[in-house]
Chain A
Amino acid sequence: MIKKILVVDDSPISIKIIKSCIPKDAGYELFDAADGQMAVEKYKEIKPDLTFMDLTMPVMNGFQALEEIIKFDPKAIITILTADVQIKAVAKAHELGAFSVLKKPPSKEAIIAAIKEADDALATRG
């Protein structure tokens, strides 16, 4: 079951928007990181059950962070949440191990559906 959710984005307003889409009464612990490098460090520290990650970020972009995290934890559930909706970018994210890809701006329904999908995947893994 999903307990910890990490939100990675270089835009503070974007982090705020994504967090506002996550149901408050479900008791999730929310964490955030402002770039890919911080995301990798935070991931290793807290081992979140689900990560929402932007692609275009300073210091380390989302593709590199995704690769690093999957290397550390091949079962990591990472949903890419991005403005870069090029077919090739989406395909690359999947190749690198992204669980799913959502377009920005997110809707509450899309975020809730992504959490449920991640929950189902965790349950299947046992």
Chain B
Amino acid sequence: MSNNDNVKYLITSAETDLLQEIMNIAFGRAASDLAEFIDIFVILSVPQIKLLQAYDLPTYINNEIMDYDRDRVSVVEQSFWGKFKGNAFLVFPSGTGKRMISLFDGRDEFFEQDPSHELEKETFLEIGNILIGACIGKLAELLGDVTTYSPPRVLVEKSLHHLYENLLDPDSMAIVLKTVFELNNKNISGYMFVLTKQESFAWLKNALHKFLEQYD
């Protein structure tokens, strides 16, 4: 059985469509929280969802982010626990942190004096916390679960190998939410990945069906 067949065995295309719609709603809520936090307008694009086994994720990410410098990406990671448990990741291309900080103070020159990326780390932690917390929280709420979170961790301007070596559990399943969002005309794009174990998929399938039952 191929890797793709393994994923198909776990979740049907109808369940994937519903999961995509629910992730869309959840990310919409996350964008709304972010917009309120920094008083901006987030222009959302149509998100795309893909299910993979975690050990296929490096190849997938490498293909998807061919326009990025793979040796300089920023990653925010946060673990969550509930009936649905796993890790969520936001991956941003090089330079995103600086563009994000300039949303707050409108200046770019500060970064020349921030070689250790401390301010960028703080910004990613705040923004990652809002996006991941709101998205996973809404997803859990819609599917009748409650989640708790670890403090977020951040890697700034590091190689993707850091992500693969330190943060990915190769035995996990990955729900990849690819979304591009524009903040106040600063084109900031990113990817969100949610990694979860096979046992959470069983709960997820059941929860998706329960969600649909309210519309029968």
- Taking a contact as CB atoms under 8 Å apart, the answer to whether A56 and B216 are in contact is no
Residues of B within 8 Å of A57, CB to CB, are 46
Chain B, range 1-43, C-beta contacts under 8 Å to A: 14, 17-18, 20-22, 24-29, 31-32, 35-36, 41-42
Q: Across the interface, which residues of A come within 8 angstroms of B27, CB to CB?
A: 83
Contact assessment for A58 and B46 in the assembled complex, using a CB-CB cutoff below 8 Å: yes
Q: Indicate whether A88 reaches chain B with its CB closer than 8 angstroms.
A: yes
Interface stretch, picked from A7-15, A39-47, A66-74, is A7-15
| A82 CA to B29 CA, complexed, in Å | 10
What per-residue 1/0 map shows which CB atoms of A78-111 lie under 8 Å from chain B? 0000111111110000000000000011001000
Task: Tell me how many residues of B have a C-beta within 8 Å of chain A.
Answer: 25
B28 contact set on A, CB distance < 8 A? 56, 82-85, 104
CA distance A17 to B14 in the complex (A): 13
B159: min CB distance to chain A, Å: 33
Which residues from chain B contact A108 at a C-beta distance below 8 Å? 215
CB distance from A11 to the nearest CB of B (A): 5
Q: Does A21 contact B (CB under 8 A)?
A: yes
Question: By the criterion CB–CB under 8 Å, are B32 and A84 in contact?
Answer: yes
Per-position 1/0 for A17-33, Cβ under 8 A of B: 10011000000000000
- Chain A's interface size range is 20 to 34
* B26: A residues at CB distance < 8 A: 83
**Which B174-209 residues have C-beta < 8 A from chain A?**
none
Cα of A82 to Cα of B31 in the assembled complex, Å: 13
B131 to chain A, nearest CB (A): 14
Assuming the contacts A13-B14, A56-B46, A58-B46, asked whether A86 and B31 have C-beta atoms less than 8 A apart, the reply is yes
Nearest neighbor of B27 in chain A, beta-carbon distance:
A83
Q: How far is the CA of A113 from the CA of B31 in the complex (A)?
A: 27
Residues of B within 8 A of A58 (CB): 46
| B148 at interface, CB cutoff 8 A | no
Closest to B19 in A: A13
* A116 vs B144: C-alpha distance when bound (angstroms): 30
Checking B17, B24, B29, B142 against A56 with a beta-carbon cut-off of 8 angstroms, the contacting residue is B24
The answer to whether B25 touches A104, judged by C-beta atoms less than 8 angstroms apart, is: yes
A21 partner, pick from B14, B46, B215, beta carbons under 8 A: B215
CB-defined contacts of A20 to chain B, threshold 8 Å: 215-216
Q: Does B65 contact A (CB under 8 A)?
A: no
Q: Is the CB of B41 within 8 A of A17?
A: no
B29 touches which one: A13, A14, A17, A85 (CB < 8 A)? A85
Known contacts: A10-B46, A12-B17, A105-B142. The answer to whether A83 contacts B35 by CB under 8 A is: no
B216 in contact with A11 (CB, 8 Å) = no
Q: Apart from A13-B14, A14-B21, A86-B35, what 11 extra A-B contacts exist at CB < 8 Å?
A: A13-B18, A17-B215, A57-B46, A83-B26, A84-B44, A86-B42, A88-B41, A104-B21, A104-B28, A105-B142, A108-B215
Give 24 CB contacts A-B under 8 Å. A12-B17, A14-B21, A16-B215, A56-B45, A56-B46, A82-B28, A83-B24, A83-B26, A83-B28, A83-B29, A84-B28, A85-B28, A85-B32, A86-B31, A86-B32, A86-B41, A86-B42, A87-B35, A88-B41, A104-B21, A104-B24, A104-B25, A105-B22, A108-B215
